[in-house]
Structure 1
């Protein structure tokens, strides 16, 4: 029964019109392509990271969800608390049915200080220890490489202080950059719209 003509769906399930089971198309090259990583994807970066839980991952392990990422450091007293508040504000505006397809990742620019244990404590302190939140500690070179991809600039001013860009980035499930929000406490309407578009 052709309810919706040639319409296809990305996920296995049932037809919303006739409730029949959807079948996978044979040799569907378009479907195969969606799992491939493009040259623009951050998943091409091979550096290793530690999560706040102490697990070692590569960025490709985050594939499959819309990623909302920001670079911070936990001892920051100025901009980072505002960036964290912005991230929480974005999360609060995403409906429950979309949030399951979103991963919020906070990447430390101070990997020496921000150990997995410290990141875990910071996550708990800021009520960001749900499964939709991930904190990442990398190597100096891995952090620098990632920052370059995001056009985030940062510089150590003293052993406990950095100057840095204030950018929140949104990536699709294949790790391709789709939107960036720059500044502190800025209007996040476009950021929210991008996330909703990518998770519908």
Structure 2
């Protein structure tokens, strides 16, 4: 509660000094930025380590500075994942070459036991996703679960080589903040493309 001056009170009522009725004020939440310039809403706050398809160990913060288009898949999937891969390639095809330098397509495996960096590399080559703008990540089971929770992706292992999972493609800005999500398979990606183009211009 606030008086006509700038003094504030926690209880409703009137100011003990000027006797005027106190007016309630709304406190707007501000993004908290840490000393590294990362907001509290950024995926770059996750400190887990990941292996790329090239066998390099990275943290998500190493992807800072690029617009990120991210999806969670696994390479032995015969149903949804091939469609998600096709959707990612379809998005890439609609992005002008001038914007691709500022963009990174990231595929995170939900099956870290079977999807080794070597397997991810082979999968990237098989699916013509071996260019500079593509990155595949293998984490630990706990880091994958943590990352899935951030993206609101649900998955469950139903056999040694099979998972049921959400079909969500997420777009993050250069600071790792979620800007857009596309849910479903083969859906209209117009909004996704528009979001990416706005972020890469």
Same fold (TM over 0.5): yes
Rounded to whole Å, the distance in 1 between the matches of 2:123 and 2:98 is 27
1:197 aligns to what? Answer: 198
Query: What are the ranges of 5 or more consecutive residues in structure 2 without an aligned counterpart?
Result: 1-32
2:147 aligns to what? Answer: 146
TM value normalised by structure 2: 0.82
C-alpha RMSD of the superposition: 1.4
**Are residues 1:49 and 2:60 paired?**
no
2:111 aligns to what? Answer: 110
Rounded to whole Å, the distance in 2 between the matches of 1:52 and 1:75 is 16
Aligned residues: 169
Rounded to whole Å, the distance in 2 between the matches of 1:45 and 1:94 is 28
Q: Bigger relative contact order, structure 1 or 2, given CA contacts below 8 A and separation 6+?
A: 1
Higher CA-based Rg: 2
TM value normalised by structure 1: 0.83
1:80-95 to structure 2, matched below 5 A, reads: 80-95=81-96
Rounded to whole Å, the distance in 2 between the matches of 1:104 and 1:76 is 19
Shift in Å, 1:171: 0.1
Shift in Å, 1:130: 0.1
Shift in Å, 1:132: 0.0
Rounded to whole Å, the distance in 2 between the matches of 1:104 and 1:197 is 16
Rounded to whole Å, the distance in 2 between the matches of 1:39 and 1:170 is 17
Rounded to whole Å, the distance in 2 between the matches of 1:69 and 1:36 is 22
Query: What are the ranges of 5 or more consecutive residues in structure 1 without an aligned counterpart?
Result: 1-31
